Amino acid sequence: MGFFSLRSVSASTYHWGNVEYTKRPGCLVDQFSVNLRVHCGSNNDPPLEIASHCDCFAYLLKFCTTSVMNPTARIPSRTRTLPSLSLCASLLLLLALARCASAAEPYLPSDDNEVLETLPRSLLSGGDELTSMRQQLADDPKNLDLARTVASRYLQMGKQDGDPRFYGYARAALGPWWDAADAPADILKLRAKLKETDHDYDEALADLWQFVKQEPRDAQAWIEISNILRVQGKYDEALEARNKLSEFARSVEIMYSNVPLLAVTGNAEAALDLIQQKLPEARQRYPGTVPWMLTMRAEISRALGRDEQAEESYLEGLGDDPGPSYLMRAYTDFLLDRDRANEALELVRDHTADTGSLLRAAIAAKQVGDEKLADEYQSQLENRFQEIRLRGSEPHGRFESRYALELENVPLLALELAQKNWQKQKEARDTRNLLEAAIAAKRPDAAKPVIEFLEKYGTQDVQFDKLLNQIEGK
């Protein structure tokens, strides 16, 4: 057992409690137990107890991975010189959050028939054909048609199975053009999608802008542009893209861009009307679009406070045998907000391979009072986050901030994470996470940019109204 102190990040602003360092068997990396106290403001103010003796993982601190792992732990001078002390705060708070990834001990299966892994169905159908195409491509990596086919097939498989490995294979197929500034149009479009799956919105947009210069009447690209801009909260630009699309596209295509934009820019009623108007036709002619329309109808109805209509749409959209989807997660939140955690848990408990569903399952189990199950889900989540961090990436801020707030109960960290995430994307859940964290952390000032944003676009959402009232102390 080693011992070191991380007592103060800056002489007068943040002081840290002691950090105790232990090694435990069965952990991937050394484990730390932390007792953190943060003094904000003057030295005389009582410390704010952040977390006491929670176990954590060193490698969480991406910036100081190696130095923290060594007993000679220290915060790198770079972070101390940054004006943002909150960065330091979040770094160390991250430390407080992590727990030991219980990487299971290797074992020797006793039964030859023990199923270790189930492969995605998409691999079975057409997997061989794809493999042979991939091999052809390996011999002729600059074959544009082949590369495009292989990449889009893998992209589709990634989308179906939610396994990012397939995106990696798609990226490999685009290898010769991955960094090329003058990639052919078709490649640009695929590359944009891959970057988007990686939440690399700006890069994805850059590729799409370049693409529409060459193919100005490609509806798909314009829909994509307006959607990425909307996710980023750049509604004015998104509306411009929608207008461009409206000049030539069919009404069903325009709808894809228009409905979600209207919903967040003060025209939720109009968005709802548009769906109602298109739905009968869609049921007849494009049944594939119906789930999306139901999702939109459910979410917009919920935002307008029409719970009955919302629930009807959620249930219809889910159908008889739902898989994990945006709709399922949204409906789970709907149930959780209405003290129906039992139903929420039933809905997601078979889909915990999906991280968003796992998060909700943990929250639901906690609300139901099943602590054992909640703990189990929570440690699975921690495990996933840690393994993502270990490879040098970051877990999705939307999940991570909610995890910090609702499961770990560390509002300051949740706020930091939510703010960081909100810089990147500003969809309803992202906004809500920030507002809730600001309330829990007693930092109404942090909600100011969000309030301004919502006011600017007249976003309608009864959930936000409730939170804003709380912030304004009404």
Partner 1 sequence: MLFRSNTSTQRKQANDPRNQFTCLRCVLVLTLFGWHSCTNQAHAHKPSDSYLKITGGGEQLAVQWDIALKDLEFLIGLDTNHDGDITWGELKSKRESIADYALDRLEMSADGIACNLRVAELLVTQHSDGAYAVLQLEADGPGDATLIEINYDLLFELDPTHRGLVLYNNGSVSSTHVLSPNSRMLELRTSDTSLWSTLRDYIWEGIWHIWIGFDHILFLISLLIPAVLVRQQGQWEPVEAFRPASKEVLKIVTVFTIAHSITLWLAVMEYVTLPGWIVEATIAFSIIVTSVNNLWPVLPLSGWMIAFAFGLVHGFGFANVLLDLGLSSAALAVSLFGFNVGVELGQLAIVLVFLPIAYALRGTKFYELVILKAGSVVIAIIAALWMIERIGNYAILPF
Residues 429-468 that bind partner 1 (CB under 8 A): none
For residue 54, what are the β-bridge partners?
A: 34
Question: Which amino acid belongs to residue 470?
Answer: Q
What number of CA atoms fall less than 13 Å from residue 60's CA on the CB side?
26
Is the Cβ of residue 389 or residue 441 nearer to partner 1 in the bound state? 389
Query: Sign of torsion, CA 178 179 185 190?
Result: positive
- The yes or no reply on residue 160 touching partner 1 (CB under 8 A) is yes
Contacting residue, 172, 206, 315, 440, with partner 1 by CB under 8 A: 172
Q: Within positions 346 to 365, which residues make up the interface with partner 1, using CB under 8 A?
A: 353-356
Burial 326-356 (b: 16+ CB within 10 A, else e): ebbbbbbbbbbeeebbeebbebbbebbebbb
Q: Within positions 367 to 396, which residues make up the interface with partner 1, using CB under 8 A?
A: 380, 383-384, 386-388, 390-393, 396
Distance (Å) of CA 188 to CA 170, 172, 184: 13, 14, 6
- The yes or no reply on residue 63 touching partner 1 (CB under 8 A) is no
- The yes or no reply on residue 410 touching partner 1 (CB under 8 A) is no
Q: Within positions 230 to 259, which residues make up the interface with partner 1, using CB under 8 A?
A: 231, 250, 252-253, 256
- The yes or no reply on residue 83 touching partner 1 (CB under 8 A) is no
- The yes or no reply on residue 85 touching partner 1 (CB under 8 A) is no
Is the Cβ of residue 162 or residue 458 nearer to partner 1 in the bound state? 162
Is the Cβ of residue 44 or residue 339 nearer to partner 1 in the bound state? 44
Is the Cβ of residue 395 or residue 411 nearer to partner 1 in the bound state? 395
Burial 11-46 (b: 16+ CB within 10 A, else e): eebbbbbebbbeeeeebebbbbbbbbbbbeeeeeee
Contacts of 247 (CB under 8 A, 6+ apart): none
- The yes or no reply on residue 224 touching partner 1 (CB under 8 A) is yes
- The yes or no reply on residue 17 touching partner 1 (CB under 8 A) is no
Tokens of 120: 């995605």
How buried is residue 402: exposed, middle or buried, by Cβ count under 10 Å (0-12/13-18/19+)? buried
For residue 55, what are the β-bridge partners?
A: 33
Is the Cβ of residue 202 or residue 472 nearer to partner 1 in the bound state? 202
Smallest distance, Å, CB 120 to partner 1?
Answer: 8
- The yes or no reply on residue 398 touching partner 1 (CB under 8 A) is yes
- The yes or no reply on residue 184 touching partner 1 (CB under 8 A) is no
Q: Measure the CA–CA gap between 457 and 235, rounded to whole angstroms.
A: 8
Contacting residue, 55, 79, 178, 215, with partner 1 by CB under 8 A: 178
- The yes or no reply on residue 1 touching partner 1 (CB under 8 A) is no
Contact in structure between 75 and 7 (CB atoms under 8 Å): no
- The yes or no reply on residue 403 touching partner 1 (CB under 8 A) is no
Of the ranges 156-164, 362-370, 411-419, 446-454, which one interacts with partner 1 (CB under 8 A)? 156-164
Is the Cβ of residue 212 or residue 441 nearer to partner 1 in the bound state? 212
Is the Cβ of residue 255 or residue 467 nearer to partner 1 in the bound state? 255
- The yes or no reply on residue 148 touching partner 1 (CB under 8 A) is no
Is the Cβ of residue 296 or residue 341 nearer to partner 1 in the bound state? 296
- The yes or no reply on residue 175 touching partner 1 (CB under 8 A) is yes
- The yes or no reply on residue 220 touching partner 1 (CB under 8 A) is yes
Q: Within positions 282 to 321, which residues make up the interface with partner 1, using CB under 8 A?
A: 285-289, 291-292, 295-296, 299, 317
- The yes or no reply on residue 149 touching partner 1 (CB under 8 A) is no
Distance (Å) of CA 131 to CA 96, 144, 149, 154, 171: 45, 17, 12, 11, 15
Contact in structure between 96 and 54 (CB atoms under 8 Å): yes
How buried is residue 129: exposed, middle or buried, by Cβ count under 10 Å (0-12/13-18/19+)? exposed
- The yes or no reply on residue 196 touching partner 1 (CB under 8 A) is yes
